[in-house]
Amino acid sequence: MIVVTGASGFIGSCLVSKLNQEGFDDLLLVDDFSDGEKQKNLEGKKFSRKLEIKDFLDWFEKNAEKISFIFHIGANSDTTESRKEIFDFYNLNYSKKVWEICAQNQIPLVYASSAATYGDGKEGFDDETLPSKLKPLNLYGESKNNFDKWALGEAVKPPFWAGLKFFNVYGPNEYHKGRMASVVLHTRNQIERCGKMKLFRSHNPKYKDGEQLRDFVYVKDVVEVCLFFMKEKAPSGLYNVGTGKARSFFDLSKSVFEALNKKIEIEFIDIPEDIREKYQYFTEARMEKLRRAEFKKEFYSLEEGVKDYVENYLCLSKYI
């Protein structure tokens, strides 16, 4: 049996779909299943059973021999959450317990880290950089970085483990995420609502308005990386999951307009003062480590990913 935590969420549900496509349906899905909107992500999926996140650890300790692999994707990912104890519970201590049971029972583990661990990027975006050198900008990034540091320092480890530093992921099944959804979804919604897209004006002289850069990665590529680590032999460790090519918000918005076959109309607004000092102007994953591990598939370009997402999912209100 394969475990997927965060199974009804964005990346987790896309991973469940990919596992089904690959012939894996003996799955244990773990999440908080009280959100009815998120449950649409699981419609049509094949799995053996579901467990509430609050019940999983007790069950796992008693039934570890039934599990062959764990994808620990679940986390509190609200970057605006201000209560440290929430992140400490879900993203740090809960993950430690998952790790410890995996280590004791020799179960391979892939878990979700985050590019938020890199903070303002002064130390670069290299997955070879020790987490102790990084300074995240928010409690979410701090919690993910704290677990990465703890994992690297543990003497007893699972037989294989990988912490995946997801960059700016977009794609189907994120419809429930509200303000935390990708810029692609927000752009499409703004265009349909008012015919234009509002982007942040630059407050950094090194960047023109709308030319702030991010490493946008399509969720279909993300789940390919997850499956790679389950099926192939690779060194344990932390790995970036991006495209390795930073693109601008203007490029992203332009791609959405083109996918909708609409005239490009972009308006620039000031970055709110309360987030202006912590606003990132550039992220770009170093991808050499993943390539050295023999992951050979090419990533969707921004234009290809946006076109597929908008035309085949967003416009049809379709799920993966």
- The dihedral through the CA atoms of 138, 140, 145, 147 has a sign that is positive
> Is 175 an active-site residue?
no
Max CA-CA distance within the chain?
Answer: 58
d(CA 34, CA 17): 20
Residue 225 in contact with residue 295, Cβ under 8 Å?
Answer: yes
Inter-CA distances, 268 with 156, 195, 208, 273, Å: 51, 14, 11, 15
- State phi, psi for 250 to the nearest 5 degrees: -65, -45
Q: What is the four-CA torsion angle of 217, 218, 221, 225, rounded to 10 degrees? A: 50
d(CA 53, CA 28): 11
Residue 52 in contact with residue 24, Cβ under 8 Å?
Answer: no
User: In sequence order, what are the beta bridge partners of 241?
Assistant: 166
Parallel/antiparallel/unpaired status of strands 247-248 and 213-214: antiparallel
How many Cβ atoms sit within 10 Å of the Cβ of residue 60?
22
Catalytic residue among 177, 198, 245, 307: 177
Residue type, 138: N
> Is 177 an active-site residue?
yes
Token pair for 9: 């969420």
Catalytic residue among 94, 140, 170, 300: 140
Residues with catalytic annotation? 140, 177
